[in-house]
A and B are shown apart, each in its own frame.
Chain A
Amino acid sequence: MDTQNPPNPLQPSGTEQGAGSSADQGGQQRQQPQQSPRTAQPVQGPGARQLLPSNAPGYPAQGAPLGQTPMPGQAPTQMQALRIAPQQPQSPQSPQFPQFPQQGFRYQPQQPAATPPAPADMSPVDGGATTPRANRQKRDQAAVSPAPTLPPTATAGATPEPEGSPPLSRFFWPTHAHPAQLDRWQQDGYSFAVPVADPENPGSVRWGLGLSGLAVVSAVLLVALSVSTYTGSIADFPPSAQTLGIVFGIIGFILALGGMFINGKTMWAMQHHMIRRASAQQARDAQRQRDIQRQAGQEVRTDARQPATPPIPLLNDEETLVMEPEPEPEPMVFEQRAPAQFEDRDPDAALGDRYPDTATVALERDGWAIIGVSLRGLSHKHDAKFREDAIAGDISNGWQIGVVCDGGGSYDLARVGANVAAEAALRGASAATNKYKRVSQRDAETALRAILLAALQGAHDALQAEEKRRGVSWQEMRTTLLVVVQRHLGKGIHALGGAQVGDGAIVARFYNQDAINEHMLRLTTPDIGPTGNETIFFQDVPPEQWEDRIKTYIKEGPGCYCLAMTDGVSDDFTPIEQHMPLLEEPLFRDVLKGQPPARVTGALEQLLSYERPGSFDDRSLVCIYHLGERPWK
């Protein structure tokens, strides 16, 4: 096969089509550069064709119709692999529109016939012209013979109404006429009334009504006879009465049939009469228009060969219809443009539970500091939503405690849940430290676990209280919860603990006396679903599983700092062990520099406002560090 010219998958020869040719084409494609392993795999099975490598040469330019034969050496395009629909010459038999009847198509009434006016004495209905073929011929002739188009109504006052019109009664439209014809009449301005009798047989209605009445009388007698027999009025049912009943029944049936036939025939005749009247009225209007033109001195041409009236389809005469499909939409043109940028919109002023765009935490005590920043993400700014992260921090009884929460983006009260959980967890943990003002290395792990459990319990109780207060399920306040607790036990011994439900990360970094960073420790394990947008929330974990969520460590190291962050930060630095230094280094070298946290919160906000494609979630970070020490310097 010619490797320079990929085969036309729509080649009608059939020799290269179908599953039978996949191997052949597969051989061809394997000679092409491959973008991914999958592109080299031929797609087996009937109806499927292997993919072409995306960087194979000889593909149409971007936006060009696919299938155009590429020029050798032409630059590859993004749609290289889409080898559908090469420019196959359209079959002349290709229907532009699906065949009738087809849903999605509608009848369009023929435009008002533009036939030249006919002599007044011409019969308004050409009896022989009502065949479909004749009607088509007339329609074609009419279409090429434009005529004056003064609307009949516009000249109605100029010429008196011809006499002899039968009395009109506007009680129904000719519903048996085809809708297309009705539309045409309406567009022409005609209004129709229907005589209540067949003009050619005026007595038909009387006959029909008479027979129907007799049928009714016969039926009434039959019913009366039957009721009398049933109720016992006629105790001994005589044969004469039985015979009489049968006779009444037969007579009633015959009369009913006769009445129906006559009435139907009358109705049919009325419809035809109405159509003929329509034609006649149209002819009169044409004549009237011609007279006006004559009076105005215009030249009027008449063609005796033309019928006096436009062709009028008979009932259900489909061949006289002009079926036009729904017009095809205009093909759109793709305009390449730059992607839109995020905008900063404020949330609706009427919304409650308002939280500022930025939250900060800055504490220092006993040589230790906690700094934290929570920023509203680009996505929430663009959607005019509130920040749904929350942070909290405290230094209590020698314990440093940091909390970060991330409200679930798909829940209405996520921001409430995050803030309630963060504050309550901090309160719980801080209260628990009262029992552990002094702690030995041996008891440190127990103290850590108790403090972290108190944090989880505090968040749990607060969320449930909020549920009762608001009358809203706490599931609507779903949030992640990450708590980090740290205490320097002295002599370079650090007690570290973390509790985590949901995504995000809690890490600790140890460094030596020369401030050279050493190993990193992931304190907890995040909850990450099989795909990127799945996690679990604090509300999803029952209390009996909290113990599994708590990790404690007693580590020795001259220096140590801890970071707790939501996934808005941690996801940008995965794998954490590999990429977190990209954040740590500027954080400690350029922002903190061992300074008190109150001075550097602005710088931390600036640092966390980094730009990264695909990163538009809220970003929250809490850092516990020792004042005066400068790792990563």
Chain B
Amino acid sequence: MSIAFNQDASRRLPVYLLLDTSSSMQGVKIVGVNNGVIMICQELLGDPRAASTVYISIITFADQAYQSPLIPITQFTPPQFNANPPGISGTALGGALRLLNESLDQDLFINQGDAQKGDYKPIVFVLTDGEPSDHWQTEAQRLANRTVNKAANVIGLGIGPGANIQIIRQFANIALLMQDVTPANLRSFFAWVSGSIMTASRAAGGFAPGAAPQVAQLPPPPNGTIPMP
């Protein structure tokens, strides 16, 4: 006696990681990012709920922005990110935000009343250590003013003294600043990211309207970061 499902329509928890790979990320930072993405994958695979709901897409931005497809975490193998060589400058945050907005528009299922329950609210993490070199304002405003497929949380992390936290605050509803970029701090941040994703994946029980951006329910910010109000 069993039920023969003939389709897989499970709801997804989309997670986007926007990672700065500009030349200033050389060294400890890019190694920390690589390790952090691996750690996120391993942490999420260790949580059966997250493993069955999380879909992940990574958008990297340096002089240009690139995106990986939104795929289940169980099928995701972390790539190796390399920061741009010193001769190539540029931080295309605007391009990355554009890719994000387009993905939110086209890759996500929204609730269709009785017919179909849509995906969970996506979560976006942005990590950058500098200022954008392209036109970012339009896409940032578009992200902040979304009404359809609005991200539950856009969490921006500025790392190092060169990060412009004022820009991050314009599109992120949680802005963090990591002044001391050490491997330990980066590791703490990515551990916090995976913890936040798992917290969101536990939200299948339902939220009241307007309470979906469960900022207060996320774990406290990791060590080494300062929340910027």
A residues sitting closer than 8 Å to B (CB atoms) are 9-10, 12, 17-18, 35-39, 41, 43, 45-49, 51-52, 54, 60, 62-67, 77-85, 87-88, 90-91, 93-98, 103-104, 325-329, 331-342, 378-379, 382-383, 388, 406-410, 414, 478, 480, 502-503, 505, 522, 525-526, 528-537, 540, 567, 571-572, 574-576, 579, 582-583, 586, 590-591, 603, 606-607, 610, 612-617
Contacts and interface: CB of A to CB of B under 8 A. Distances in A.
Given A9-B66, A537-B208, A383 B202 contact: yes
A338 B52 CA distance: 11
Contact of A591 (B1, B35, B149, B207): B1
B1 A65 contact: no
Nearest to A571: B117
Interface string B102-144: 1100110011011111111100000000001111000000000
A590 B11 contact: no
Contacts of A414: 205
Listed residue (A37, A325, A334, A591) with the most chain B CB atoms within 10 angstroms of its CB: A334
Contact residues of B: prevailing secondary structure:
loop
A225 B181 CA distance: 59
Nearest to A47: B92
Interface residues of B, number: 111
A263 to B, nearest CB: 38
B81 A48 contact: no
11 contacts: A47-B64, A49-B64, A103-B181, A328-B28, A340-B47, A382-B49, A409-B205, A528-B117, A576-B114, A583-B3, A616-B52
Contact of A533 (B38, B91, B133, B212): B212
A610 B2 CA distance: 6
B49 A603 contact: no
A49 B209 contact: no
A83 B65 CA distance: 9
A339 B48 contact: yes
A532 B200 CA distance: 12
B207 A334 contact: no
Nearest to B61: A47
Contact residues of A: prevailing secondary structure:
loop
A332 B34 contact: yes
B31 A331 contact: yes
Contact of B114 (A525, A583, A616): A525
B95 A63 contact: no
A540 B60 CA distance: 41
Contacts of A17: 63-64
Contact of A46 (B96, B134, B150, B179): B134
B221 interface: no
Contact of A329 (B28, B48, B212): B28
B64 A48 contact: yes
A85 B77 contact: no
Contacts of A535: 206-209
Listed residue (B32, B78, B205) with the most chain A CB atoms within 10 angstroms of its CB: B205
B34 A67 contact: no
Given A36-B106, A62-B77, A526-B114, A340 B46 contact: yes
Given A85-B60, A531-B149, A534-B209, A328 B27 contact: yes
A81 B69 contact: yes
A45 B98 contact: yes
Contacts of A79: 68, 77, 79
Nearest to B51: A339
Interface of B: 1-12, 21, 26-28, 31-32, 34-35, 38-39, 41-42, 45-49, 51-53, 58, 60-69, 71, 74-88, 90-96, 98-99, 102-103, 106-107, 110-111, 113-121, 132-135, 148-150, 152, 160-161, 179-183, 187, 202-209, 211-212, 214, 217
Contact of B1 (A9, A332, A606): A606
A409 B204 contact: yes
Contacts of B60: 82, 84-85
Nearest to B73: A339
A590 B12 CA distance: 32
A51 B66 contact: yes
Given A103-B179, A382-B49, A534-B207, A96 B27 contact: yes
Given A47-B63, A325-B28, 9 more contacts: A43-B102, A88-B85, A379-B205, A410-B206, A531-B110, A574-B114, A582-B3, A582-B4, A612-B5
B201 to A, nearest CB: 9
A38 B103 contact: yes
Nearest to A55: B69
B204 A328 contact: no
Contacts of B63: 9-10, 17-18, 47
Given A410-B207, A531-B118, A586-B3, A67 B98 contact: no
Given A410-B205, A532-B120, A606-B1, A45 B95 contact: yes
B85 A78 contact: no
A90 B182 CA distance: 23
Contacts of B32: 329
A582 B134 contact: no
B11 A382 contact: no
Contact of A66 (B31, B82, B111, B160): B82
A47 B94 contact: yes
Contacts of A379: 49, 202, 204-205
A94 B116 CA distance: 52
Contact of B212 (A98, A332, A529, A610): A529
A336 B78 CA distance: 10
A571 B31 CA distance: 41
Contact of A63 (B9, B79, B161): B79
The 6 residue pairs across chains A and B that have the minimum distance between CB atoms: A409-B205, A614-B10, A48-B95, A47-B92, A47-B134, A339-B51
A533 B26 CA distance: 39
A536 to B, nearest CB: 6
A312 B113 CA distance: 77
A601 to B, nearest CB: 14
A94 B113 CA distance: 55
A613 B8 contact: yes
B204 A617 contact: yes
Contact of B28 (A52, A66, A326, A540): A326
Listed residue (A38, A96, A537, A610) with the most chain B CB atoms within 10 angstroms of its CB: A38
Contacts of A12: 85, 87-88
Contact of A540 (B27, B110, B208): B208
A46 B60 CA distance: 15
A94 B88 CA distance: 11
A382 B48 contact: yes
Contacts of B69: 35-36, 39, 54, 78, 80-81
A308 B79 CA distance: 54
Contact of B111 (A46, A530, A583): A530
A49 B118 contact: no
Nearest to A85: B82
A333 B208 CA distance: 40
Contacts of A612: 3, 5, 10
